[in-house]
Structure 1
Amino acid sequence: MFRHMLGKTLGLFGYTIQYGCIAHCAFEYIGEFVVCSGPSMEPTIVNHDVVFSERMSRHLFKIEKGDIVIAKSPFDPQMNICKRVIGLEGDKICTSSPSDLFKTHTYVPMGHVWLEGDNLRNSTDSRNYGPIPYALIRGRVCWKLWPLHSFGTMSETPMKRIIKAQRDSDSD
């Protein structure tokens, strides 16, 4: 009787470990569901929206300007941030406000990205903490899942303020 119970317990423990490993790999390498909070990405993403963040783009270095990403906060590694990629390594970013007389620019260093919230008046982003290392990016937001009336792929930046560089083949 004891051997039978021990065998069942160890079998259940083994299945729990296996399924736990599968779940860990799925969330680490495929994607995760994220409940967003805060006003920095309004109107694109509002408080309590649920999004799906895929991880493959990050691993394949396929993050592009205009993508919305989930990243570790440079201030608090326990907290994640949701921001839009405005600049990639080597890009020149205007860091002054439109009303400033003199424009200041920052070049995004190698291995870094420039992130900003869509709600520029209420967002703590790269304008405050500078470019962030690419390694802090956890994933690219590709779907809004909740609320159901806004289910679908993520829209373009509301102010259309991202200028994508022409490819060499386009300029010929």
Structure 2
Amino acid sequence: MTKLKNEWFDWAKALLIAFALAFIVRMFFFAPIVVDGPSMQPTLHNHDQMIVNKFIYNVSEPERFDIIVFHATPEQDFIKRIIGLPGEHVAVRDDVLYINDKQVKENFLQEIKDNKQANQTLTNDFRLEDLPGGYETIPEGYVLVLGDNRNNSADSRVLGLIPQDTIVGKTSFIYWPLDRFRILDV
């Protein structure tokens, strides 16, 4: 009887440790997220399931073109791409991104730009000063984000700059559906 009791205790202890480790990993390191909506097409599709690295920005700074998850409201997280970083001025003119008045190529949008109609605009012109807040440069602790589907995205053009402390993490790994399984590159 004692041997059976010890075996049950060992199993219970192992399960408790497994649940504790899973909780710690989920809470502090990685979490699943499901893409909701078309705002990141063609890069991400509605219902793509991804893994969010919640730890990465504890050891490094956000970088231009990182795809991030952030708390847009207390109830809802959004997935967007970082375009502007602290200290920078951002503008888009004639579908060309300018950072501090220097043209920046957005390789992830090139296929869309190549296939658009002559009179079609991918990104309406804007300057950082035109966005909510009216900043001349992005202040410390904030980033400017845009969806890849520029004409169908609630991003910094609507929300304003995103406080870095609302960023949940970086995502670059689609694990479901299997035909979309991939690690995204910039």
Is the contact made by 1:50 and 1:146 (CA closer than 8 Å) also made in structure 2?
Answer: yes
Q: Distance in 2 between matches of 1:32 and 1:104?
A: 32
How many residues get paired? 149
Q: Distance in 1 between matches of 2:62 and 2:17?
A: 32
- In structure 1, the residue corresponding to 2:23 is in which secondary structure? helix
Is the contact made by 2:35 and 2:47 (CA closer than 8 Å) also made in structure 1?
Answer: yes
Per-residue CA distance 1:67-122 (angstroms, 9 max, x = gap): 1001111xx2121100000011111112778665x956442111111111001111
- The residue aligned with 1:136 is 166
Q: 1:148 aligned to 2:178?
A: yes
Q: Distance in 1 between matches of 2:158 and 2:39?
A: 13
Is the contact made by 2:67 and 2:80 (CA closer than 8 Å) also made in structure 1?
Answer: yes
Is the contact made by 1:142 and 1:154 (CA closer than 8 Å) also made in structure 2?
Answer: yes
- The residue aligned with 1:84 is 81
- The residue aligned with 1:108 is 138
Relative to 1, partners in 2 of residues 1:79 and 1:113: Cα closer, same or farther, differing over 3 Å? Answer: same
- The residue aligned with 2:63 is 64
Is the contact made by 1:44 and 1:155 (CA closer than 8 Å) also made in structure 2?
Answer: no
- In structure 2, the residue corresponding to 1:127 is in which secondary structure? helix
Is the contact made by 1:95 and 1:127 (CA closer than 8 Å) also made in structure 2?
Answer: no
- The residue aligned with 1:47 is 46
- The residue aligned with 1:166 is none
Relative to 1, partners in 2 of residues 1:104 and 1:117: Cα closer, same or farther, differing over 3 Å? Answer: closer
- How far off is 1:150 after superposition? 2.5
- The residue aligned with 2:31 is 32
- Amino acid in structure 1 at the alignment position of 2:67: I
- How far off is 1:17 after superposition? 5.1
**Consecutive unaligned residues in structure 2, runs of 5 or more:** 96-123, 130-134
Relative to 1, partners in 2 of residues 1:44 and 1:22: Cα closer, same or farther, differing over 3 Å? Answer: same
Per-residue CA distance 1:39-93 (angstroms, 9 max, x = gap): 11011101110111112222123320001001111xx212110000001111111
- Amino acid in structure 2 at the alignment position of 1:58: Y
**Consecutive unaligned residues in structure 1, runs of 5 or more:** 157-172
- Percent of aligned positions with the same letter in both sequences? 29
- Amino acid in structure 2 at the alignment position of 1:109: P
Q: Distance in 1 between matches of 2:63 and 2:91?
A: 18
- The residue aligned with 1:160 is none
Q: Distance in 2 between matches of 1:108 and 1:20?
A: 42
